[in-house]
A and B are shown apart, each in its own frame.
Chain A
C-alpha cells in the first residue's frame, strides 16, 4: 500500500533482561498526512512504540525483536537512527533535555551539523523553520531564558530542521498550562497543513489533542486494543474502562444516549455538542 508511511507487521519487542514483551504483536498502519493520537494507561508501551519508529529501538536499546517496522519504505531494523532521523522527527516529553546549545538558532542547526548539511543550506533551513514556528524573536536567546511553551517550540524546530515527513511527539502538553497546550496543538496543525506531515502524538490529555486528530489508537499492556476515528473510539466502553481520560462532554453524550435519548454526532467539545444537537435543543 503506497499510502502507508508507517507499517508495523506482527511487531513485538522485549527490552534486554526484562522477561516480558513491552510490545506484543503490533499491527498498525499509519497513512501519509494522518494525525494519530496514541493513548493508554501508563506502562502500556506507548513510549516503546514511538522509539521503534525512529530506530532508537532496536539500535540504542537492545532487546529481542519479532516482526518488522517499515517507515517510508525503510526497514527500521536495517537502518541506523541517523538515516531514520531524516524521515522521523521524535520530540520527547521534556524539552529541557533536548536543547543542547546556548542559542536557539545554534541548537536548531544541531541535527544539520551532525549530518554534514552544507552551511548555506543549513542557514536557509534554520531561517525557514524559525519562521514556520514563529520564534524569530528567540533566535539568539539561551535556553534558560525561554518559557516552557517556547522551549517546546524550539525542540520541535530542532527536529523539523531535518525535514522529516513524520513528526512524533511524546506527551507534548503534559508540562504546559491549558492555553499553551491549545497553542501548541494549533501550531502542530499549522505545520501539518503547511508541510503535509504525518503526525503521531502520545497523550493523556485528550481534550486538546483529540481536536486536531483523525484517528485514535488505544493501547494496553503492550498491545493495541482498538483503533479508529477519534469520536467513535472516545465514545466506546473499552478506553474508558482502561483509564483513558475521556472528555466530560463525550461522557455526557454517552450517558444521554444510554438513557435512550437520540443524539447527534459524538462531540469532544461543548461547542460541538451544541452544534450537533441544534434541533433537539430548540424543542
Chain B
C-alpha cells in the first residue's frame, strides 16, 4: 500500500509541486493523467524517496519515506522513468539485470536464477549476452522493464511507457501489466495515451496544478469533459462513439454496456 497523507511539496526555485495530496494506492492498475507540469512525475518521485514531502507524509507498506533510503524504498517500488533506456550501461543484458539485484543484496546464485527467470518471462533469453546499447528502442524498453521486475517489487511505476513504441510493443507492455495485476501487484502508469489506458480499464487519478482533480473509474473520468480539458487528453474513441450513440436511437441500456459490446466487436477483427 502506498499512502499519501496531506502531502505538500515545493521545489527549490519556489514552484509548487504538490498541493495537499491525500490518496492510497494498492494492488491493481492505477493510471495518472494530467497536463505537463501537473505534478505527475513529482508524485511518483515521492513513492521511492527521490523526493520527500515538505508537508505531510508518504508511507510505503507502512514505512515512512522520510525514514528510509531510496534504495530501501526502491526495493518495494520499482520506477521506470521516461527515457529509461538512458540508464543502460552494462556489457551485456544479463549484467544489466544483475546490477540492480546485486545492489539490493541478492546472492550470486539468486542473481543468476532471477536473471534467467525474468528473461524468459520477457522472451528475451537469447539476448542475455548481447550488449544493451545495440538494441532497438523497443527492445531497450523491454530490457528496462526486465531490469526493474527482476527484483520483484510490490509496485511497478511506469512513466509514459508507450512513447515512441509501435503497436506490437504496446501490446507486450499491456499484457505485462495485466500479468502483474493478476499477481496482485500494484501498477501505476503515467500516460497520455488514452487508447492504451482505455484497454486496461484502470482506476484513473487526474491531476492539475499539483492537486488531485478526480479519482475514479476509467469510464467516469474519461467521459468527463472538464477533466479531459484540464488534463489535455482526448476521449477514447469507442467511449466517444458510445456517447454519440446516445444521441440517436440507442440499442444499449447503459454506456458501459455499449462500450463493452463495441470493444468486443472491434477485437473480433484481429
Contact = CB atoms under 8 A, between A and B. Distances in A.
A156 B200 CA distance: 35
**Contact-residue bracket for chain A:** 35 or more
B142 interface: no
Contacts of A245: 166-167, 170
Contacts of A274: 241, 244-245, 248
A166 interface: no
B262 interface: yes
B225 interface: no
A207 B237 contact: yes
A174 B232 contact: no
B266 A255 contact: yes
A268 B231 CA distance: 23
A120 interface: no
Contacts of B168: 41, 243
A153 interface: no
A2 interface: no
Interface in A260-278: 269-271, 273-274
**Contact-residue bracket for chain B:** 35 or more
Contacts of B169: 42
A249 B265 contact: no
B190 to A, nearest CB: 11
B107 interface: no
Contacts of B136: 42-43
Nearest to A206: B167
A178 interface: yes
A249 B241 contact: yes
A282 interface: yes
A270 B241 contact: yes
A269 B267 CA distance: 17
A251 interface: yes
Contact of A270 (B163, B164, B194, B244): B244
Contacts of B268: 255, 258-259
A210 interface: no
A240 interface: yes
Given A248-B237, A249-B241, A255-B266, A178 B232 contact: yes
A38 interface: no
A2 to B, nearest CB: 37
A204 B164 contact: yes
Contact of A255 (B164, B237, B244, B269): B269
Interface string A184-225: 000000000000000000001001000000000000000000
A127 B7 CA distance: 46
A271 B270 CA distance: 23
A256 interface: yes
Contacts of A247: 237
A245 B163 CA distance: 13
A177 B192 contact: yes
B136, B195, B232: most-surrounded residue (chain A CB, <10 A): B232
B12 to A, nearest CB: 16
Interface string B126-170: 000000000011100000000000000000000000011111111
Contact of B262 (A175, A244, A252): A252
B167 A243 contact: yes
Given A251-B269, A282-B249, 7 more contacts: A175-B163, A177-B232, A178-B233, A179-B234, A180-B232, A246-B167, A281-B248
6 contacts: A41-B166, A174-B164, A204-B164, A245-B167, A252-B266, A274-B241
Interface of A: 41-43, 147-148, 171, 174-175, 177-180, 182, 204, 207, 240, 243-249, 251-252, 254-256, 258-259, 269-271, 273-274, 281-283
The 5 A-B residue pairs whose C-beta atoms are closest, nearest first, are A255-B269, A243-B168, A179-B232, A270-B241, A270-B240
